Amino acid sequence: MISASIQTYDSPPDLLINQDFVVHVQPKIDSEKWSQVAAYAIDVANANVTCNDFNHHSIAVASFDFNGPVRVKVTYTPGSVYVAAIRPASRDIKTELQDNVITFTLDHAQDVMLELNGNKWKALHLLTNTIDPDAPSEDTKDVWYFGPGLNHGSAYSRITDGVNLMVPSDITVYIAGGAFINFRLNFVGVSNSAVRGHGFILGPKGGYAQRELGGAIHMSQASNIHVEGVTSLGANGFSLSAGECTNVHVDRYRSFSSSGNGDGVDFLCSSEIMIENCFLRNSDDTIALYSHRWDWYGDSNNITIQNCVLLPDIAHAIMMGTHGNCANPETISNVTIRNIDILDQEENQLWYQGCIAISAADSNLIQDILAEDVRVERITRGQLFNIRVMHNEMWSAAPGRAIRNVTFKNLFFVHA
């Protein structure tokens, strides 16, 4: 549904709704009408160390588009709310609380978490976008369009194995607001391709021998690839994986996961990479930078991670190192981490710590790293940062070569 400044979307009939959160939105100025926004029930997870398993938690994810400012009203149906906080705290968004109803204002499109009673498992994640006046509404010669609903696009017929869509060079896959797909997008050996839009990628499961690569978006030996605005829900493995890639721009990508090895965004042996404006809540590292693994080889350099909100329910917010090529050692260099909000860290392995972890193993050399303007709001279990040449026998075959020229500037533990 579209009003003068708000666009909401119907939900597919088979997608679970989180009944704990009832979400409405209205233009802030001269409006009495509220539009309801579907809040989906999505699993996230933390580690159960007593039985080597996962504790699964159902959180809420809602999305709409607007040209602001807007008022948001959230009713928490299970009962009383005594604290309602918008995170990250750096956004300085104030809430009004009356019984179990929370209201607040968004002046512009952004991604935030509404956390209730100081409990990150009782949370609504609000993913908002600016209305796109130039959004396509059908296929063109260089656009594969998926419209509202599930798999509503002619390109769906190109899938031959039920799970993998191979995207050619010079093609943009557009997943519109209110659109859902339940297959994987693959950019393999291609260039000048993209996925963009305000829609969702569900799952999928299967389709790769390495389960870690079975996420929503997979890239290999690709160049000039753009990912913008889409959201991954429930990926079974790394939500976005990329190996031996160059010139990749990941912008406003969102991801939520609850599986083992449920990383958010992983780049291996890749260079000239920009990761920005992302909201990642994952059941493993939210962002990881590695050297050799599987069939990928080579150095990684010139990587920027900026303006992101990260919530690793397991492991690290940003991890680099660990995997590499002992026979022909590789280097990770020139990595910039800037203006990052880390909402929590929960890592139980004492030899594997750090909201930001720089861990040289497998003969890797890691050098010329800058992390600045990083705010950590909570550490359930872990450390602010960890820098070590290490040999983690679970994940590596040998120690790294060295770590050098690392700068931390304006790193804050704000305890929100």
Q: Output the pLDDT for position 64.
A: 98
Please state whether the predicted TM-score (pTM) of the whole model is above 0.95. yes
In order of start, what are the domains of the chain with their CATH numbers?
A: 6-130 (2.60.350.10), 143-413 (2.160.20.10)
Q: Output the pLDDT for position 349.
A: 82
Q: Output the pLDDT for position 416.
A: 60
Q: Are strands 95-98 and 39-48 parallel, antiparallel or unpaired?
A: unpaired
Q: Output the pLDDT for position 49.
A: 85
Which residue stretches of the chain have pLDDT < 50? none
Q: Output the pLDDT for position 1.
A: 54
Q: Output the pLDDT for position 348.
A: 85
